Structure 1
Amino acid sequence: MSTTPETAAIEQVLTELSCTDVSDALDRLGINGQCLGIMPLDRSFRIVGQAWTLRYGPVGEDPGTVGDYIDELGPSQVVVLDNQGRLDATVWGDLLTSTASRNAVAGTVIDGVCRDVDRALSMQYPIYSRGNWMRTGKDRVRVEAVGAPVSIGGVRIEPGDWLLGDGDGIVNIPVARIHEVLAAAQEIRDAEEHIRQAVEAGKSLRQARADYGYHTLQTAR
């Protein structure tokens, strides 16, 4: 995946925002982008990048494969794996973590579970999932679609959508609406920073909130 000046600029802005900034912006704009139940293995992890998607399903008479894809991925890409929320079979482990880290992949997001968490933590490779368990997905899941829309925590994610993850979870921004979401998120962030500064200067929180319209920052407009 090649980085253009535009994508580099978007990535830079996202690195300066939090998931809460973006979440409130998504609410204001009527976009469902907060991925429920998908959390980082370590609260210090952060993800910024664009979605590369893969959807899994249960095996049938043809067991299929868990897929060989990681060698082709690189910087600014986020591996997004839809395993339908399954908790009984993993779709990510230490070999994928090691290769993704080597290739400077931005991180991995799973609607399901991962394993070999010690490797991810030691390499500081960001993984967001529903948890971890040791049982392999081989012979239990198979690739259903690559580069197709997926569902992660109740959110539709399309290839190329922008993802931001921090200690509060993961949010998805449709690529077609990235600029309006960023503008709203920056406005919300700045308003809350003004409120913090006002409180530190001695103003009451009630008055500082009123001065900067806190209670309607996320309200649909």
Structure 2
Amino acid sequence: MTAAAIAGRLAKLDTCAVSDALESLGLDGAALGIHSVSVAKPVAGRVVTMELTEYAGIPAPRHLGTAAIDAAEPGDVIVVANAGRAQVSGWGGVLSAGAVTKGVAAVVTDGGVRDVDQASGYQLPVYAAGVVPQTARGRVIERTWNQPVTVAGVEVAPGDYVLADGSGVVFVPAGRAEEVLGAAERIAAKEELMAARALAGEPMVEVMGHDYESMLNGDTK
């Protein structure tokens, strides 16, 4: 299956169904503490990574994020590993301008960002752990890009997939993507039927019966 096809199927799901599917397969994927800070727009795409580290007085060879943007393809999502530094910006307005020009679908970080009004003006979804006005200069620099990183405790590799919406952010390993999608689609179908029964007025004790807690059982097969 092509990357575009995987991203397309992922975009039809929500993070809750995908998180449940990941758990049913024994995988970690929910990146907790990250939420939408610009346009409220769900996004699914392939990951391009970058990792930041604290500035130690040695100038970086380039400004953070520039290599990731230049390498990104339309529909990619730039994922910034900032070690949970919610009060330290690892993304800003000029980077957002470059990202939308390249067709980047979104930016996700476990750290802080700034210039969110500018990102919203560009209709660029940004998911972050915090919003701050201060610059990254003199605080953090890029350590690596296009290498495996850890984001909010989740291991993420370039080429993996990410889904972000109003409930949060989940990462899907590329090598398990079809398996995760299949499980998530089955879970979503079950919950859609349950919601329809609830909307039809069935008693909730019957809609969410004794087997609800074990609903994920069998979804890995």
Taking structure 1 as the reference length, the TM-score comes to: 0.90
The reply on whether 1:12 has 2:11 as its aligned counterpart is no
Q: CA deviation at 1:219?
A: 5.0
Counterpart in the other structure of 1:152: 151
For residues 204 and 42 of structure 1, the distance between their equivalents in structure 2, rounded to whole angstroms, comes to: 39
2:82 aligned counterpart, secondary structure:
strand
Q: Tell me the residue number matched to 1:121.
A: 120
Identical aligned pairs, as a percentage?
34
**Which runs of 5 or more structure 1 residues have no equivalent in the other structure?**
none
Query: Which shifted more, 142-151 or 175-184?
Result: 142-151
Instruction: State how far apart, in whole Å, the 2-side matches of 1:87 and 1:9 are.
Output: 33
Q: Which residue of 2 aligns with 1:50?
A: 46
2:63 maps to what in 1?
A: 66
Equivalent in 3, 6, 25 of residue 21 of structure 2: 25
Equivalence for 2:191:
192
1:40/1:127 contact within 8 Å kept: yes
**2:84 equivalent in structure 1:** 85
* Alignment-derived partner of residue 214 in structure 1: 212
Cα distance in 2 between the residues matched to 1:219 and 1:52: 33
The answer on whether the counterparts of 2:86 and 2:110 sit within 8 Å (CA) in structure 1 is no
Per-residue deviation, residues 130-160 of structure 1 (Å, max 9, x unmatched): 1111111122222211111111111111111
Do structure 1's residue 41 and structure 2's residue 40 form an aligned pair?
no
Q: Would the aligned equivalents of 1:42 and 1:167 in 2 still touch at CA under 8 Å?
A: no
**2:162 matches 1:163:** yes
CA contact (8 A) 1:66 1:141 kept: no
Q: Aligned equivalents of 2:97 and 2:160: distance in 1?
A: 24
The AA in structure 1 aligned to 2:22 is L
Structure 1 runs of 4+ aligned residues shifted over 4 Å read none
Deviation of the 1:58 alpha carbon: 1.2
> Using a 3 Å threshold, how does the CA distance of structure 1 residues 36 and 154 change in structure 2: closer, same or farther?
same
**Alignment partner of 1:90: what SS?**
coil
Q: Which amino acid aligns with 2:126?
A: I
Q: Which residue identity does 2:168 align to in structure 1?
A: G
Question: How far 1:73 sits from its partner (Å)?
Answer: 1.7
Q: Match for 1:18: what amino acid?
A: D
User: Residues 106 and 74 from structure 1, CA distance in 2 versus in 1: closer, same or farther, beyond 3 angstroms?
Assistant: same
1:181 aligns with 180
Write the deviation string for residues 167-212 of structure 1: whole angstroms up to 9, x where unpaired. Answer: 011000011110111011000000011111222333222222339x
Distance 1:58 1:118, change over 3 A: same
- Alignment partners' CA distance in 2, 1:53 and 1:157: 8
> For structure 1, which segment, 28-37 or 60-69, has the greater mean C-alpha deviation from structure 2 after superposition?
60-69
Q: Are 1:74 and 1:100, in contact at CA under 8 Å, matched by a contact in 2?
A: no
SS at match of 1:89: coil
How much does 1:165 deviate? 0.3
For the aligned residue pairs, the C-alpha RMSD in angstroms reads: 1.9
Give the structure-2-normalised TM-score: 0.90
